[in-house]
Structure 1
Amino acid sequence: MLDLFGTLVAAPDITERAAAVIELSFALGVARETVDVALSRSWRVRHDGTLRSGAALAAYLVERCGASADHVASAASVFRRLAATRLGTDESVCRALAELRRSGLRLALLSDASPDIAEAWNASDLASYFEVALFSCWKGAVKPAPSLFDRVLVRLGVAPGNTVYCGDGGGDELAGAQRSGMRPLRVTRRGGSHRLAFGETPWSGGSLPAVESLPAALAGGWAL
């Protein structure tokens, strides 16, 4: 079971966020500061299932920014384009996932994500490697809620003791996976430690430099 942001794709950074704010500000016809505040205050709402579609996300931002409802479609278009860009990953990650699949391992994704990301997932280069992909925005909870880990395990039909959870540690996911009976393994945050993460807690367990190291670690018997 793998995390998405900071693990398979780079977590966002301040520069990328600022660029997104500029685009949304232009689309909504409001000040950048207004958009920045609205995004900063809405992380949980955007990820916890309150908003179940990209259109709902766009409408919510328009309302929070006091913009005209006529701007919902343009905001939704910006979210769609940004989501597709954010799901881009390195070819080395795809090779690692392909190697894991060739070895007979079954892969699942568990991500705290907003609905624009969830809707863009199937068109990404990553989607074909995973049997199961579960996004917080469609399940009404965020990490480390036990229900998220349990739902993925049920859909895979795999016991938690036979499952490795791999992530960068945002959302207290490693401790959450451990409490669910899985074997957590941390990877260094993709894109660098300056990248944004929410709800991270200290971790002293197993770790790897990157997800590309996971096939060799598992082949060598780590946590098996």
Structure 2
Amino acid sequence: MILDLFGTLVLAPTSSERSVAAAQLAWAMRVPMTVAETALSGSWQARHDGRLRSGTAVATHLIERCSASATCTHEIEAVLARLAHHRLQADGTLLQALNDLRQGGIRLAVLSDASPDIAEAWDRSELASHFDAVVFSCRAGAVKPDRRLFQAVLRELGAEADRTLYCGDGGGDELAGAERAGMRALRVARRGGPTGLAFGEVPWPGRTVPAVEILPSLLDGWGER
């Protein structure tokens, strides 16, 4: 099973959270919040598609976009690391569901559009030990629904596409992308509700479940049929 990260395993970011992040970055760079907010939103593609390979590179990129001083690079890195750690916090019920899936013999992987600061924080998160493989867009050099991402995570997981279920909230047209790669796809209602931000979402005609937490019982039911 392959799972999306934001909006599926952890809360999707909201506009208010984006503003809080921008405010922290603005304070660290000594620039107006509107400048930091514009730089943050305008750098999404570069932060996620592999052009920026580290948290340091992200900090440098934001500093350049904001015309801030390079002397604040380490401070920006610290802000990014702190925000990443916060964003990777997972509910206990979610962690238990992942544990139940693995105890049931299911191999698990994460496939996520993510920036380098998230990738660098991953190994220290509560989630990391529950997964057999992880592919982040910033390291793979593409964003969803690029077929290369789905092929990469299948390789990392050591799985055949036709024996793999992909689960996500639908951002980045990921569900159709998974199906084009030969997998079955299941939509999970966006964690955190409809106010969560998603990029490239399209309508999904297939099945939707309310949360990752029901997947263990759902798969048990499929196995009985």
TM class by shorter chain equals over 0.9
CA distance in 2, matches of 1:216, 1:209: 13
Task: Specify every segment of 5 or more residues in structure 1 that has no aligned partner in the other structure, as ranges.
Answer: none
Deviation at 1:155, TM superposition (A): 1.8
Task: Specify every segment of 5 or more residues in structure 2 that has no aligned partner in the other structure, as ranges.
Answer: none
CA distance in 1, matches of 2:221, 2:199: 32
Q: Does 1:165 align with 2:166?
A: yes
CA distance in 2, matches of 1:157, 1:113: 22
CA distance in 2, matches of 1:118, 1:86: 12
* Over 3 Å off, 4+ runs: none
**Aligned to 1:70, what secondary structure does the other structure show?**
helix
CA contact (8 A) 2:134 2:156 kept: no
Tell me which amino acid in the other structure corresponds to 1:138.
Answer: R
Root mean square deviation of aligned Cα: 0.9
Deviation at 1:217, TM superposition (A): 1.0
In the other structure, the counterpart of 2:138 is: 137
Matches within 5 A, 1:109-148: 109-148=110-149
CA distance in 1, matches of 2:157, 2:128: 16
In the other structure, the counterpart of 2:156 is: 155
Tell me which amino acid in the other structure corresponds to 2:193.
Answer: G
Question: Structure 1 length as normaliser, TM-score?
Answer: 0.98
CA distance in 1, matches of 2:90, 2:198: 18
Q: Does 1:103 align with 2:104?
A: yes
CA distance in 2, matches of 1:37, 1:211: 33
CA distance in 2, matches of 1:154, 1:186: 22
CA distance in 2, matches of 1:31, 1:202: 37
Q: What is the count of residue pairs matched by the alignment? A: 223
In the other structure, the counterpart of 1:24 is: 25
**Aligned to 1:7, what secondary structure does the other structure show?**
coil
CA distance in 2, matches of 1:98, 1:92: 10
Matches within 5 A, 1:67-106: 67-106=68-107
Q: Can you list the C-alpha shifts for 1:74-108, whole angstroms capped at 9, x where unaligned?
A: 00100000000000010000000000000000000
**Aligned to 2:167, what secondary structure does the other structure show?**
strand
Deviation at 1:206, TM superposition (A): 1.4
